[in-house]
Amino acid sequence: MTVHEVDVLMIGAGPANLALAVALEESGSAGRALVLEQYEDVKWQRNLMLPWARSQVSYVKDLVTLRNPRSRFSFLNFMHERGELDEFVNLGTFNPFRWQVSAYLQWVADSLEHVQVRYNARAERILPIHAESGEVLGFTVPLSDGDTVLCRDLVVGGGRDAHVPEVFRGLPAERVVHSTQYSSRVDAAAGLARPGRPLRPVVVGGAQSAAEMFMALHQHAPGSSPTMLIRSVALKDYQTSKFVNELFFPSFVDEFYSMAEDVREKVLAEMHLTNYAGLAAPFLEELYTMIYRQKMLGEPVSTIRGLTEVVGARTEPLRDGGEEVVLDVRDLKRGGVEQLRCDAVFLGTGFDSRMPSMVRDLAGALGRDALTVGRRYRADLGEGARGALYLQGVNEATHGISDSLISVLAQRSAEIAGDIADRRGARETGGSVVVAA
């Protein structure tokens, strides 16, 4: 076992922490900074890396451009260095393919000069380091390989935990696939089909991830006719008007943060369909066209059932051996409940709205029910704390619906890097380390 000491530790080599790593480098405040990545490489939406899937956010909202348009870490420079800029410009789109964005993130990680990225390093938990007088001095982070990292400033940017609704938790694990597991588990799930028959998949959810799995299953489970269950009356597209999109400007974070709590809740409710329970309009068109084509060509027709919810789930044995999943499905239009039999359930049910379990456990270790962050994303660890905890991508309630999106990454990274630099400067000059959060 080896103990490593760093100034800044970032958990998760996703867009949020890579944007911060670049901001630390470009501001000259990287110090000893380390990013932990649990996998062997950097991937964006690793298990929904479908060849036709596109980013729903403009490439201009990359890790750096809205903060520093001259940065060498921009998406356009990435395309230029790969010799692919002419072809990309000729596409005439602001929305690159998801695999292009993923390759861009790996390129950024490989291009860092002062911030180190450590792969195959999963953080097991976070433990606070206290002074004898009780102040938080920093953090201990044990890794899955037995090593330990000690840091003064910690940034958690791994995203929220996957949400598996209670009704599905009693099913065998091999028969339930969350969207965060799709690519790595779909082949095994397809093998659950009864001999000589195509897979009978059911997709639950009405947002982009559910619809992408629904579409992809036609390729990954040949011959199947997936059924998609959604609570709303029909699939909907995101709200994408230019007026609404102004609410994703980094400058709107200040406005949102200054609102009263009840006003924030109202704004979040009104903006729900800008990011949740909807699909990108071009993909919605492709989906409708696929089902139309099936009908017109006399092919097995896939089904999208609106106003439907699953109220029960279990497995039952088959007469010829093996078992199947039985879903109790309520028709919200008529009120009746019927049984839907399938081989596997694919969940596009999003993410747990709570703080990630690792952060909740840390709050408990600090003797707190919950952790709250200030305007610059630093958690309140009490007066006199010399260590700092920053939370990325989980602050919608205080910083707005864009907090979990790429849209504000560049500006947010500047704010966190600035806060780190301010605290470092205060320590070096002997001043107070408690600066405005």
Least reliable range by pLDDT among 76-85, 406-415, 424-433: 424-433
Q: Where are the domains of the chain?
A: 3-161+352-428, 166-237+276-347
Q: Give pTM, 2 decimals.
A: 0.94
Query: Are 326 and 339 spatial neighbours (Cβ–Cβ below 8 Å)?
Result: yes
pLDDT at position 430 is: 62
Closest C-alpha to 57, from 268, 253, 275, 283: 275
CA distance 172 to 1: 36
Give the H or E element holding residue 325: strand 323-331
What is the mean predicted confidence (pLDDT) over 100-111? 98
CA distance 179 to 346: 7
Task: Count other C-beta atoms under 10 Å from residue 151's C-beta.
Answer: 24
Segment 198-221, tens digit of pLDDT: 999 999 999 999 999 999 999 999
322 backbone φψ class: left, alpha, beta (φ>0; ψ -120 to 50): left
* Beta-carbon contacts of residue 206 (< 8 Å; ≥ 6 apart): 228, 230, 231, 232, 235, 236, 277, 348
Residue ranges of alpha helices (H) inside 71-223 are 75-81, 85-91, 98-111, 182-190, 208-220
Residue 97, strand partner residues: 54
pLDDT at position 247 is: 87
Least reliable range by pLDDT among 15-24, 168-177, 267-276: 267-276
What is the mean predicted confidence (pLDDT) over 53-71? 96
Question: Which CATH superfamily includes the segment(s) 3-161+352-428?
Answer: FAD/NAD(P)-binding domain (3.50.50.60)
Segment 246-299, tens digit of pLDDT: 889 999 999 999 999 999 999 999 888 888 878 988 999 999 999 999 999 998
What is the mean predicted confidence (pLDDT) over 222-237? 94
Domain covering 166-237+276-347 assigned CATH 3.50.50.60 in the classification: yes
Same fold? 3-161+352-428, 166-237+276-347: yes
- Residue 42's Cβ-count burial label (10 Å; 0-12, 13-18, 19+) is buried
What is the mean predicted confidence (pLDDT) over 153-167? 95
CA distance 437 to 390: 10
92 backbone φψ class: left, alpha, beta (φ>0; ψ -120 to 50): left
The amino acid that residue 346 corresponds to is F
CB contact burial 259-279 (16+ within 10 A = b; e otherwise): eeeeebeebeeebebbbebbb
pLDDT tier for residue 224 given thresholds of 50, 70 and 90:
very high
Segment 284-314, tens digit of pLDDT: 999 999 999 999 999 888 999 999 999 999 9
pLDDT at position 434 is: 39
In order of 174, 180, 267, 312, the CA distances from 49 in angstroms are: 21, 10, 32, 31
Segment 349-373, tens digit of pLDDT: 999 999 999 999 999 999 999 999 9
Residue with tokens 């920053």: 390
The amino acid that residue 248 corresponds to is F
Task: Count other C-beta atoms under 10 Å from residue 66's C-beta.
Answer: 17
CA distance 417 to 298: 58
Closest C-alpha to 142, from 161, 160, 156, 122: 122
Token readout for 420 is 């780190």
* Beta-carbon contacts of residue 17 (< 8 Å; ≥ 6 apart): 10, 11, 35, 155, 157, 392
How many Å is the Cα radius of gyration of the chain? Answer: 23
Q: What percent of the chain has pLDDT over 90?
A: 86
Residue 351, strand partner residues: 162
Least reliable range by pLDDT among 7-21, 246-260, 418-432: 418-432
